A and B are shown apart, each in its own frame.
Chain A
Amino acid sequence: MKIRYFAWLRERTGTSEETIELPETVKTAGELISWLAARDEGYAFAFEQPETIRIAVNQEHVEEDHVLSGTEEVAFFPPMTGG
């Protein structure tokens, strides 16, 4: 599964994109956030306020209870500030 990070999530994780093998225990986007946050200090900092993080799966906005199939592109980013 490809994971992409934008804006301060990219900076805090030190990663713009990576490919991971989805662990058996991780079923939803919210569980993926918890799993990533437990990786190291940078990831913990990036996801310290999970309620503020926006999630996209295959480039569509989803909520944290979205069930992952393991093949998608998942992206995490802060609230958007376009326009």
Chain B
Amino acid sequence: MSNSTTTEFTVRVQAEDFDVLAETEILTKGRKDVGAIVTFTGLCRDEGGTLEALELEHYPGMAEAQISKFAQQAVERWPLTGLTIIHRFGKIPPGDNIVLVIATSSHRRAAFEASDFLMDFLKTQAPFWKKEHLKETSEGTWVEAKAVDDADAARWRNSRH
């Protein structure tokens, strides 16, 4: 199904923060064919003031490989002009960025759908694990996977989009 003119994409797994505007400009600078930019940024929320920080563990190598696999599927499935995915690891306090997906396209639908698809697969198939550190307790707790996230990812197997 792939063709030789498939759009290239950028995947990064890093401890450092990212700059949404700077990453967006990389995908649009000097081009006039981009009609739509969809950015999704996932942030660490404070869970009603109880959360001290989230700790994100990952499987180095496999994390990059899995995200790249889904990025490849996205550029084959939708006519994107650009795609960047960044996922952070390490200790992240409330209010800070965790994950970024930017999809650009000539028209909005492809950019919206590709971003949605990628987030559903990042949640369930990319080897990252979140541990919650609460303010009240010293021991962290591993976040459990949610069935609703699996259901979200399954949507893309059933629809032809």
* A8 in the interface (beta carbon within 8 A): yes
A6 near B122 (CB under 8 angstroms)? no
Nearest A residue (CB) for B67: A82
B122 near A78 (CB under 8 angstroms)? no
* B16 in the interface (beta carbon within 8 A): no
Interface size on B, residues (CB 8 A): 29
* A67 in the interface (beta carbon within 8 A): no
Q: Which residues of A contact B98 (CB under 8 A)?
A: 83
**Shortest beta-carbon distance from B47 to chain A in Å:** 14
In which size bucket is the chain A interface?
Answer: 10 to 19
**Shortest beta-carbon distance from B127 to chain A in Å:** 6
* A38 in the interface (beta carbon within 8 A): no
B145 near A7 (CB under 8 angstroms)? no
* A81 in the interface (beta carbon within 8 A): yes
Interface mask (A4-27 → B, CB under 8 Å = 1, otherwise 0) = 101110100000000000000000
A83 near B129 (CB under 8 angstroms)? no
Which residues of B are at the interface with A, using a C-beta cutoff of 8 A? 42, 56-59, 61-63, 65-66, 87, 98-99, 119, 122-131, 142-145, 149
Provide 17 A-B residue pairs closer than 8 Å at the C-beta atoms, listed in order of the A residue.
A7-B57, A7-B129, A59-B61, A59-B66, A75-B59, A75-B62, A77-B59, A78-B145, A79-B145, A80-B126, A81-B129, A81-B145, A82-B63, A82-B87, A82-B130, A83-B119, A83-B123
Besides A6-B129, A59-B65, A82-B127, 14 more A-B contacts (Cβ < 8 Å) are A7-B129, A7-B131, A60-B62, A75-B59, A75-B62, A75-B127, A78-B129, A79-B144, A80-B126, A80-B145, A81-B130, A81-B142, A81-B143, A82-B63
3 shortest A-B CB distances, which residue pairs? A82-B128, A79-B145, A59-B62
